Structure 1
């Protein structure tokens, strides 16, 4: 199965594929860092909750990361 990257525009269909929890965690942190979001302890707890097994599916994490990236681009 092909893994869709983090979308850079509006999402019309569910992002496909399987991305392991550690990679989901990295990609979400990367999107937030690239957007200049400063994270506190509770922020990190929520990121862990979202991306730690059983965690959420790739489609959910990809969508959240996409929102962050698009919001940062729109506000740049």
Structure 2
């Protein structure tokens, strides 16, 4: 199965695929870092909760990451 990447625009359907929990965590942290979001200890706990214990499915994590990515793009244009 193909894995849909983090969307760059409005999400019309659930992103597909399986992404392992550690990879979801890495991708979400990368999007937050690219957006210039400084994370505190509790922020890291929430990222871990969303992705690792027991974690959300890729479609949810990818959509949230897409919101962050698009919001950051809005502030730089």
TM-score by length of 2: 0.96
Aligned counterparts of 1:47 and 1:18: Cα–Cα separation in 2: 18
Aligned to 1:45: 45
Aligned to 2:12: 12
In the TM superposition, residue 54 of structure 1 has moved relative to its aligned partner by 2.0
Q: Cα RMSD (Å) of the superposition?
A: 0.6
- Structure 1, gaps ≥5 residues long: none
Aligned to 1:57: 57
Aligned to 2:34: 34
Paired residue total: 76
Describe the superposition over 1:26-75 as per-residue Cα deviations: whole angstroms up to 9, x where unpaired: 00000000000000000000000000042100001000110000000001
- Structure 2, gaps ≥5 residues long: none
**Consecutive aligned runs of 4 or more in structure 1 exceeding 2 Å deviation:** none
TM-score by length of 1: 0.98
